DNA sequence: CGTTCCCTTGAGTAGTTTCAATACTTGTGG
DNA sequence: CCACAAGTATTGAAACTACTCAAGGGAACG
């Protein structure tokens, strides 16, 4: 069983507790695979409104636009259902944008409806996935309340490091992203100029070197310590691990 | 049908789309009612770990504590399920604390399990409720990224005004809360001293007067404009309203 | 009627913003 | 293969926002 499309869904989290049967069922939810280039608005574009989408490859940003400025309120990595909540909410309060090129798996809402009615085990996993998003949101709130700009950027990469590791993508010394410094600024709620200075400070401190979105470090622990990062909110195999019930 | 305990659950949002049967079933989920005083840690205290809780009366804060400092990452008003996600996550990444005295309705997880298996309509409403929390989290992230301290405080009260109105509690001229300025500071990610100056600025600008947590204003629209508040993220009866499906 | 918590104010410091100018990178067409 | 354009990154200076430390004032509760 390889599950080429959904292999990373909840990997490192609840996935290990799902039955083979459920995993196969989840793989079969994907009706089609779509590819998109950089900076594509995934909601208005070719993406159907009656589907929800699993991110298979690449990064997706959740943004809120206000005429003047863009705010990034979340990042998604492969294995994340990026708009599962649209199935329940019908509309989104924000925009989904690709960062770099992406591959998405489309799941028709009628199939999700069937899951809700007939497969409570899978429904619960879906619910769990959206709750993970909420837990990440809470940490972002706290990071914005607690940290200065350099630490916010470090926290961002620390979280990505952890999330990528959980889905089995090891990040030895370089974490590659397509993010510009303006993207980092919009994620951290600071100006682009200040994001640049924050990046420079991380370099000076020896915490990590960010070049065109790629972070290079040889001491992830030091980076995480600097960012006051504690990954338990990601509900991976650790302190807050989901117990067998 | 009055539903004395759960009358405010999803009121102004999905509630109107639920059947009488479902509403009765939801009311019957509540096994017992608990009362707690001010500043009680609801997770460690008398509150059972095998229950989730509906807030019936009062305010509850979601906080993350870090030895040195406390960060508030969310507020709950009556009608909110404050720890519904514990049913799915089993553990929480944060703490729930009463702000002022509260009444909670306890729902045993076994009843929720039955709902998940047998009542997809109610399960979906529960899911919807946790997604609303996530939408509010996203707006908080954006508010922290976008707004200065006085506007953050104004946004906070604007949101509370809207949420209380949705559950049928009109807020004509005074919005009463038990929040201290230190609470406001911890919600907005600023120091207590600065929260005080922000409150003073709102007063000087004629936006609103906050005295011991109670906000007095005679122009809610002006306050919301000042805070750049747009309530569509709350998924009430408006632009982003849930369509009949 | 005093203690305690909460609010207020002042002064100096640190973090962040804006505006503005300059360099580096990448991709494209000649 | 070079030249240019567009996007991205860097740096400086002045203004603003927010922080800390510190002290004093006010309101609620016993």
Q: Give the CA count within 13 Å in the CB-facing half-sphere of B231.
A: 22
* CB of B49 closer than 8 Å to CB of B119: no
Residue B153 tokens read as: 């405080």
H helix intervals, B44-178: 84-89, 109-118, 120-146, 149-166
* CB of A192 closer than 8 Å to CB of A227: no
Rg, chain B, Cα only: 18
Q: Is B73 exposed, middle or buried (0-12, 13-18, 19+ CB in 10 A)?
A: buried
| 3-class DSSP state of B41 | strand
Distance CA A112, CA A120 (A): 11
Nearest residue to nucleotide D21 when comparing alpha carbons to its C1'? B193
A115-160 tens-digit pLDDT: 999 999 999 999 999 999 999 999 999 999 999 999 999 999 999 9
Greatest extent of chain B over all pairs of C-alpha atoms, in Å:
56
Q: What is the mean pLDDT of chain B?
A: 91
Residue A91 pLDDT more than 90? no
Q: By C-alpha distance, which of A47, A43, A58 is closest to A102?
A: A58
A201-211 tens-digit pLDDT: 999 999 999 99
Facing residues of A95 across strands? Answer: A63
**pLDDT number for residue A53:** 95
Distance CA A24, CA A3 (A): 7
Question: What secondary structure does DSSP assign to A30-89, as a single string?
Answer: --EEEEE-TT-BTTTSS--TTEEEEEEEEEEEEEEEETTEEEEEEEE-TT-BSSTHHHHH
Strands (E), chain A: 32-36, 51-66, 69-76, 95-108, 174-175, 209-211, 214-216
Q: What is the mean pLDDT of chain A?
A: 91
* CB of B155 closer than 8 Å to CB of B228: yes
Cβ of residue A137 closer than 8 Å to a chain B Cβ: yes
Distance CA B54, CA B33 (A): 9
Provide CB contacts within 8 A for A20, sequence distance 6+.
A1
Cβ within 8 Å, pair A144-B144: yes
- How close A212 gets to chain B, by Cα (Å)? 22
Distance CA B103, CA B34 (A): 6
**pLDDT number for residue B87:** 87
Distance CA B241, CA B234 (A): 9
Parallel, antiparallel, or unpaired for β B214-216 and B174-175?
A: antiparallel
Residue A48 pLDDT more than 80? no
Lowest-confidence region among A31-35, A129-133, B40-44, B57-61: B40-44
pLDDT mean over B122-146: 95
Nucleotides of D under 7 A from a protein CB: 7-13, 17-22, 27-28
Please give the domain boundaries of chain B with CATH numbers for all domains.
Answer: 14-136 (2.60.120.10), 147-234 (1.10.10.10)
| 3-class DSSP state of A22 | helix
Residue B139: list chain A partners with CB under 8 A.
Answer: 64, 93
Reported confidence tier of residue B239, pLDDT bands at 50, 70, 90: very low
Reported confidence tier of residue B46, pLDDT bands at 50, 70, 90: low
Choosing among B89, B113, B146, B189, which should be mutated to test the A contact, i.e. which has the most A CBs within 10 A? B89
Q: By C-alpha distance, which of A217, A244, A242 is closest to A232?
A: A242
B113-124 tens-digit pLDDT: 999 999 999 999
Q: Measure Cα distances from B142 to A215, B61, B137 in Å.
A: 25, 19, 9
């Amino acid at each position: 069983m390889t599950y080429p499309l959904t292999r990373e869904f909840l990997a490192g989290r609840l996935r290990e507790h799902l039955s083979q049967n459920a995993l196969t069922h989840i793989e079969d939810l994907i009706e089609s695979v779509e590819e998109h280039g950089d900076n594509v608005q995934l909601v208005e574009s070719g993406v159907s409104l009656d589907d929800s989408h699993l991110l298979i490859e690449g990064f997706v940003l959740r943004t809120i636009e206000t005429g003047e400025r863009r705010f990034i309120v979340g990042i998604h990595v492969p294995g994340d259902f990026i708009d599962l909540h649209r199935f329940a909410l019908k509309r989104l309060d924000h925009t989904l944008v690709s960062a770099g090129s992406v591959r998405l798996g489309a799941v028709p809402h009628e199939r999700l409806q069937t899951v809700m009615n007939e497969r409570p085990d899978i429904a619960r996993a879906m619910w769990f996935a959206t709750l993970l998003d909420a837990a990440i949101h809470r940490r972002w709130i706290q990071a914005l309340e607690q940290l200065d700009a350099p630490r916010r950027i470090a926290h961002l990469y620390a979280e990505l490091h952890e999330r990528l590791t959980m889905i089995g993508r090891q990040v030895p010394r370089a974490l590659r992203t397509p993010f510009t410094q303006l993207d980092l600024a919009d994620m951290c709620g600071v100006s682009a100029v200040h994001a640049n200075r924050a990046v420079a400070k991380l370099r000076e401190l020896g915490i990590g070197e960010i070049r065109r979105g790629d972070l290079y470090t040889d001491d992830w622990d030091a980076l995480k310590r600097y960012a006051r990062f504690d990954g338990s909110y990601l509900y991976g195999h650790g302190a807050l691990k989901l117990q067998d019930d």
